[in-house]
Chain A
Amino acid sequence: MADSTTSRVSFTLDSSLDSVNKVELTAEQYAARAGFDEDTVPHIAMAVREAAVNAVLHGNAYDRNKHITASFETTTDSLIVRIADQGPGLNPDTLPDPLAPENILRGSGRGIFLIRAFMDEVHFRQLHPGTELTLIKHRTPAQPGT
């Protein structure tokens, strides 16, 4: 990747909802600082929140002995957020389509769908143990933020 990183921060957090809220808030701040508009910033924050919820709830299952890591990187071209857990692993190909008629009234299963809806790129990487999600939102030339 030819991007030059202009800003980066990472956290290791416990598997709690407080961590989810902290990650969401950081995403909101980074997205605003990167110059995304007022409609896009909440979308990025929500996508990152959903990734953090997945890590804490489905990945680590609130296990106090497991942690999540979150990193935020602003490059010339993109905002890149990585969220990793220490859970059993997630195969995105097995996730049911929440828009399918048989799933539309399910009470869960929309998190990854919303992440994909709001970000430009979403990548899954299997760790041993755990899963890392990389969420990328491309900046446009009109975005002057650092």
Chain B
Amino acid sequence: MSMKVQTRQVDGITILDLSGRITLGEGSVTIRDAVRDVLAKGSNKILLNLGDINYIDSSGIGELVSAFTTVRNSGGELKLLNLTKKVHDLLQITKLYTVFDVKDDEASAISSFTK
């Protein structure tokens, strides 16, 4: 079981569609590399679509936080889209739900980025 990433562009926003598990040794490095690639290509408005993420552990949570701070430190924005109940509950427990900008609709998420 691994994590997959598909990248697409909508109105200047880079959307990373993630699927699978974000855990130590599986998705964590994949997310890190994907976000680094996006930043290297000059885009710093990133929407992580977690709708098909069925499992995340503490390493995965840490990787989301690191991605968030990396993008923010580059002057950009990183938002989360379509949290499953499991991921939503974990972000609540860890008090990260209010740290991230979480959206449940792609169109409104896209329009919420600073132009």
Contacts and interface: CB of A to CB of B under 8 A. Distances in A.
Interface of A: 17, 20, 42, 46, 49-50, 53, 57, 98-99, 104-111, 113-114, 117
Mostly helix, strand, loop or mixed at chain B's interface? helix
A99 B94 contact: yes
Name which of B55, B58, B99 has the most chain A CB atoms within 10 A of its CB.
Answer: B58
Interface string B54-65: 010111011101
B63 A57 contact: no
A114 B66 CA distance: 18
A104 B69 CA distance: 11
B8 interface: no
Contact of B59 (A98, A108, A117): A108
B86 to A, nearest CB: 7
Interface string B93-107: 111100100000000
Interface in B45-73: 55, 57-59, 61-63, 65-66, 68-69
Contacts of A50: 57-58
A46 B62 contact: no
B93 A17 contact: no
Given A49-B57, A105-B65, A113 B24 contact: no
Given A53-B24, A114-B93, A105 B57 contact: no
Mostly helix, strand, loop or mixed at chain A's interface? helix
A46 to B, nearest CB: 6
B42 interface: no
B86 A98 contact: no
Given A46-B57, A98-B94, A108 B24 contact: no
Nearest to A46: B57
B25 A104 contact: no
Name which of A106, A110, A114 has the most chain B CB atoms within 10 A of its CB.
Answer: A110
Contacts of B95: 99, 104
Nearest to B26: A17
Given A49-B57, A50-B57, A106 B93 contact: no
Given A17-B25, A53-B59, A107-B62, 16 more contacts: A42-B86, A46-B57, A50-B58, A53-B57, A53-B58, A99-B94, A104-B99, A105-B68, A106-B62, A107-B69, A108-B59, A109-B62, A110-B58, A110-B62, A113-B58, A114-B93
